[in-house]
Amino acid sequence: IRDGFSDTVCRRYDEATTYHDGKWIMFEPTNTAEFDDYMKLLAIKRKPNRK
């Protein structure tokens, strides 16, 4: 999966803290160059475990 993302997005993911419910990553887009990466990340996001 990582091969489909830019180096910048992979680095931000690696640097993000892992919490009990996964990683939280904040992106501040300044142009549309990585927009496709953001959409891919949203598509694979796990749904929360609601008990």
CB neighbour list of residue 24: distance below 8 Å, 6 or more residues apart: 16, 17
Rounded distance between C-alpha atoms, residue 10 and residue 25, angstroms: 11
Distance CA 50, CA 48 (A): 6
The per-residue pLDDT for range 22-47, each reduced to its tens digit, is: 889 999 988 899 999 999 998 887 67
Domain contains 8: yes
Q: What is the pLDDT of residue 44?
A: 86
Q: Is residue 49 in a domain?
A: no
**Residue 48: its pLDDT value, please?**
66
Residue 1 reports pLDDT greater than 90? no
Q: How many domains does the chain have?
A: 1
pLDDT exceeds cutoff 90 at 18: yes
- Identify the domain containing residue 32 by its residue range: 2-44
Distances (CA, A) of 41 to 8, 29, 45, 51: 13, 14, 6, 24
> Domain for residue 18, yes or no?
yes
